[in-house]
Chains A and B, each alone.
Chain A
């Protein structure tokens, strides 16, 4: 193992990689507010540096840990540190590559934006925050950067802040994440007291020796964080709304990296979850539920970004479910293994990786489409773009093929690993994920056909055009990765041996059965969508089967409806009620002090002097009892 990265200490490289985007954001905020073009170059250069730093750390095999105390009070010490193993090496590579692609794409996509400096400053602060999560060696540090990615997401969703919908969406995203973080922070503190540490390696070590402690509650509390950040049911509602942000942001933050941070965090805590079987079951079912629910919602969407957003939700559910499936005690040869395979975590990370590439590809592709169609996002107003935007068409098609699980593309391998694991560990979940896979190829092909095939259905689509090189190049890079990212070893692999620690744990199914399963998913899902949907300005499902369509729409709206009802009818009314009581009771009675008391006594006195003899007798008896009690010393 080399001790240096191109002659520099790995720690130095990691710190420079981590802190450069912070510096970039600071420079943009302080000096480049009005120089959008310079700001965009500073930020993109920073992204290139992150990619270079991250990849060189990952591929030179530098693996290390280091930390420094940051705050000490009494017996409590919070430290900031780096844990750089194969898992974080993989994650930093994804963040670096996708981040750079998105920055370059943004140069073209956001070229004419009036608030370019704020946008690129936001991207830089996001990169900083995300790298912090990736490198963190303890839970408090993860939490710190966890909140910061939430903040950058807030800023970027709110980029078009003059739109009420964007303002609402950003607020919703932040608050939904805060709800998850409430549990997360509680879990971290509980973890701190249960294990005496929040250091990831120390927790892993402690799980071996700990006995008699129920870790299920702690694990579930920590999982709350992932539910918020990775948008799992019931906190998923913020992600579709987050599409109000600029499209490259959706690609980077709301598809490839930040929303995947929840899964990454779970994988960081795999040993803790491994001894919490109940929590793992909950995780699996939440994930599987999200996967199926979001796939159903995606079918009726007409906004190209919303289709992709629900698809992201669904795929995140896939990853979460995979993680929850847990370890595997059977090796590739079908025999029990000596050491269990960390199959769930590895399968989740594998799918996270391939998904990052093909989903970022499709989001950027949709950005290219939206840009080409003059900000038209309705797929029923597109059509025929395959001829107008051939490069976008080809790359987007590869993305669709990858997510649909076309054999030998990346999604085929990663989805397959999950299905295989589910089949072994939890058959009902396997069935759900199998159905989800069919639905995935169904709604993807639906969108693909409506956007690219047929004839143009609007003025904008008729005049669509490809973007410049800065927008097409990232598409090509990501398309190549979407094809090859599934090869974890062998001649086509782009990974070398850098991530063997993760890849070696992936459960692999062999044989023709896999191919048959994937092809049948593809044929049923994609084939039926291709045959069913006709290019037109209305949804074919809506005309052919209004009942099914209506049900799906209601299904989609149910959560938002429930939350809106809660906010308007419960939370706001409760707040108003307390405010009213505060004004009347506290401000009126207690503040006015004596005069208030006199008034009260007056009211009481009137109530007492009802003129009834009985009442006087009762009050006399009561008073005598009190006096007697007092004299007897019982009131002291």
Chain B
């Protein structure tokens, strides 16, 4: 029953993209797109619900397909372990929400837009379902290329510059990561790119500490660019500010997690002593750069979408700090954080766009009082803000908390600095909510509203938002649903041997 579901979750959106590209009428294209986005989400939920307990770090639903490249050590091998499962679910849910939001968006050339999004969605499902690190990388590229195109064509202001900058940065990051991944393969002495084989090979033969150091350095900066590690982050706010909402949702929500996932699933467990060499600079960049500097920069933003973009960069600081603790608590916190952040940032991009449709501006100083016209939109936005600033009861709290707990053993000073970020995020989050929704409308907004009265969220906008909100609440109330399989996998992937190797430095 399960054997080909993971493949189907990748194939279905691709197939839908092909069908849409073949030139069917728009209304059929929309139905096909609904199918293409729903199926991966359903498969993800199905895989989550049936995920076997007690398999440790092993992969469930493992299936291999011969691609004719096995001579090169490359196989399409799909499966999920406790670390990839949460992200696979994230990709499914955010994909569905972004897809549904795109379908109702009324974008120009909507068929091309949907087809590109579907290709992106296929890539996302593939990234987290791949056990083979070649395909892990390949699917990332598959998802990345449509992003550039979408920013370039459907983007907002500065889209040309933003698309170019994103392309340069992300390509550079991806190249560095690819070098690192290949280096792991070569140095491990394994006969193929399969992560399971690699893990065995590394455990048996080990990679010399000095070699680990430079490979981890490549991966850290490669993945770091992709995840917007300070000061390599500048593509992110610009890119997200310009990207069309669904592309921003998918990229900030899911694709960006590729780098962190690579660090947690591949780089740290395979290169523990290399990681140990780099953790101090990594943690300091994360805390001083991402959390504090970017935190303050976020406070200064006037553009709602840029603010969300910067806040996303800031939150990546917590994730990097969690990675730097080199512990299973920290790694688990990073995974929880990735899922929660993915859901909440996607929700914020979605709602920001819905705000824009009503205010005709992203400028926070030209809004105000919108809650009087759109109470549901306001309630959703406050929920999303509260999620993003780590309110308990919503998913983000668990990730932040466990990262803080893990960070204390690493460095109480950095923990204190990182926790001060919760004040910063409360400041910019609540300020934005208040500027958009509360008080009285500004003169500029009054004019806009006079010309085009604001209506509350339509169901077509509500539905994708509700999917994300429901997921945030569910994980917020029931973190075990993710942490049980996750912890299972961490105990074996972050085994005592790995942790000792990391501590040995």
Pair from one complex: yes
Interface of A with B (CB < 8 Å)?
A: 29, 33, 70-76, 78, 115, 118, 140, 143-145, 147-148, 151, 154-155, 158, 161-164, 166-168, 170-171, 174-175, 178-179, 181-182, 185-186, 189-190, 192-193, 571-572, 574-576, 578-579, 582, 586-587, 590-591, 593
**Complex CA distance for A115 and B168, rounded to whole angstroms:** 50
> Which residues of B sit under 8 angstroms from A168, Cβ to Cβ?
434
- Counting CB contacts under 8 A, is B426 at the interface? yes
The answer to whether A582 and B402 touch across the interface, beta carbons within 8 angstroms, is no
Interface of B with A (CB < 8 Å)?
A: 165, 168-169, 231, 234-235, 238, 293, 296-297, 299-301, 327-329, 332-333, 369, 371-372, 375, 379, 382, 386, 391-393, 397-398, 401-402, 404-406, 408-409, 412, 415-416, 419-420, 422-423, 426-427, 430-431, 434, 437-440, 479-480, 483-484, 486-487, 490-491, 494
The answer to whether B392 and A193 touch across the interface, beta carbons within 8 angstroms, is no
The answer to whether B480 and A71 touch across the interface, beta carbons within 8 angstroms, is yes
The answer to whether A148 and B327 touch across the interface, beta carbons within 8 angstroms, is no
**Complex CA distance for A145 and B391, rounded to whole angstroms:** 10
Show 21 A/B contacts (Cβ-Cβ < 8 Å), sorted by A. A71-B479, A72-B480, A74-B327, A74-B329, A74-B494, A76-B402, A76-B405, A78-B401, A161-B371, A171-B430, A174-B430, A178-B426, A179-B423, A182-B422, A189-B404, A193-B408, A578-B293, A587-B234, A587-B238, A590-B231, A591-B234
Q: Which label, helix, strand, loop or mixed, suits the secondary structure of the B interface?
A: helix
**Complex CA distance for A273 and B175, rounded to whole angstroms:** 55
The answer to whether B438 and A162 touch across the interface, beta carbons within 8 angstroms, is yes
With CB as the reference atom, state the residue of chain B lying closest to A154: B430
The answer to whether A140 and B408 touch across the interface, beta carbons within 8 angstroms, is no
Task: Please give the distance in Å from A171's CB to the nearest CB on chain B.
Answer: 5
> Which residues of B sit under 8 angstroms from A158, Cβ to Cβ?
438
Q: Which label, helix, strand, loop or mixed, suits the secondary structure of the A interface?
A: helix
> Which residues of B sit under 8 angstroms from A590, Cβ to Cβ?
231, 234
The answer to whether B231 and A586 touch across the interface, beta carbons within 8 angstroms, is yes
The answer to whether A186 and B419 touch across the interface, beta carbons within 8 angstroms, is yes
Task: Please give the distance in Å from B328's CB to the nearest CB on chain A.
Answer: 3
> Which residues of A sit under 8 angstroms from B293, Cβ to Cβ?
578, 582
> Which of A71, A182, A593 has its CB near the most chain B CB atoms (within 10 A)?
A71
Nearest 9 A/B pairs, CB to CB: A74-B328, A167-B438, A73-B332, A575-B300, A579-B300, A164-B439, A144-B392, A575-B299, A74-B329
> Which of B293, B301, B438 has its CB near the most chain A CB atoms (within 10 A)?
B438
Task: Please give the distance in Å from A592's CB to the nearest CB on chain B.
Answer: 9
With CB as the reference atom, state the residue of chain A lying closest to B473: A26
**Complex CA distance for A295 and B237, rounded to whole angstroms:** 48
Task: Please give the distance in Å from B374's CB to the nearest CB on chain A.
Answer: 12
The answer to whether B402 and A73 touch across the interface, beta carbons within 8 angstroms, is yes
> Which residues of B sit under 8 angstroms from A185, Cβ to Cβ?
404, 419, 422
With CB as the reference atom, state the residue of chain B lying closest to A168: B434
The answer to whether B426 and A574 touch across the interface, beta carbons within 8 angstroms, is no
**Complex CA distance for A192 and B238, rounded to whole angstroms:** 41
The answer to whether A148 and B391 touch across the interface, beta carbons within 8 angstroms, is yes
Task: Please give the distance in Å from B431's CB to the nearest CB on chain A.
Answer: 7
- The 8 Å CB contact of B329, one of A75, A155, A575, is A75
**Complex CA distance for A574 and B375, rounded to whole angstroms:** 34
The answer to whether B437 and A586 touch across the interface, beta carbons within 8 angstroms, is no
> Which residues of A sit under 8 angstroms from B372, Cβ to Cβ?
161-162
With CB as the reference atom, state the residue of chain A lying closest to B479: A71
The answer to whether A575 and B297 touch across the interface, beta carbons within 8 angstroms, is yes
The answer to whether B483 and A175 touch across the interface, beta carbons within 8 angstroms, is no
The answer to whether B440 and A164 touch across the interface, beta carbons within 8 angstroms, is yes
> Which residues of A sit under 8 angstroms from B438, Cβ to Cβ?
158, 161-162, 164, 166-167
The answer to whether B427 and A175 touch across the interface, beta carbons within 8 angstroms, is yes
